[in-house]
Structure 1
């Protein structure tokens, strides 16, 4: 009889532990949902992939390139290629050489290419590689003003933007991005 009571107490304790863990998961899901809703209130579309959707309008932003040029949605002209990198991101480091090669041959050159590097001080080597082929903006973190305006939460990200600030295409690899200006 004592074994049965001990087993019953053990099962009860396990059920209580399971209840507390389930309540914790529900609480985290609510926080996560609230965070996603807050991100989506920015006015553009951000699918589950973390890349902006084609057809979304880039939000307003202001930034300064390392060359001192003021950049905003209004100064994007033609078909601007915008790339988002982070020095701490292994896929970014793997895709950087392909982007650099593509940028060297892109019609319109450096004036139609904008690279955003999220990483602050640790980004010097990446920035030096990007500067000859693109205008470069360094943001302190992954949610800087340009990344928020484009609704980018996945790195690397490559976007083609028209003169009106509409995203024509977005991919996680520049080689999969349809770039009509390159024909």
Structure 2
């Protein structure tokens, strides 16, 4: 009988230890989930919603000058690079979304990051639906939007003072573009 009581006590202590360890693991998982969710909300665009777009003025592939001052209405802005697999996957959705943008291609700015030769295919796909800029990774448009990773898709609109600010730094290309 004493052996049975000792076994029951041992199993009880073992269950209590297991419970304590499980609670500790759950607490750590919650902490890690919070850390990961914070990292996922840090967008590839370093610019946050509500922040003003930096100054830039660059020629498009068609020779027109585009800059911060040309972002006068709600504008879709995208950054893509041909060496980036996620960029290649998101490009068709961006083109489809841009095609449906109210205001047409004047309300879409796309930046192809790379050399003119390497971005030719992207430029061909984007030109019918957007004003397209080709620049290097450290170019002025990327700097104005503080781009940290590619692809990046943002929505920009004028604030109360007419200055372009980011209204969405995580545009969902799976939903249709609609006028706001």
When normalised by structure 2's length, the TM-score is 0.69
Q: Does 1:111 align with 2:106?
A: yes
Q: Does 1:50 align with 2:49?
A: no
Structure whose CA Rg is larger: 2
The answer to whether the 8 A contact 1:142-1:153 is kept is no
2:61 to 66, 72, 76: 66
1:84 to 79, 87, 92: 79
Separation of aligned partners in 1, 2:108 and 2:42: 26
**Aligned match of 2:125:** 129
2:149 to 150, 154, 168: 154
Aligned residues: 134
Gap regions ≥5 residues in structure 1: 1-46
The answer to whether the 8 A contact 1:143-1:153 is kept is no
When normalised by structure 1's length, the TM-score is 0.68
Gap regions ≥5 residues in structure 2: 1-40
- Cα deviation, 1:76-120, whole Å, max 9, x if unaligned, reads 111011111111110000011111111112111111001001011
Residue 48 of structure 1: how far off its partner (Å)? 4.4
Q: Does 1:174 align with 2:173?
A: yes
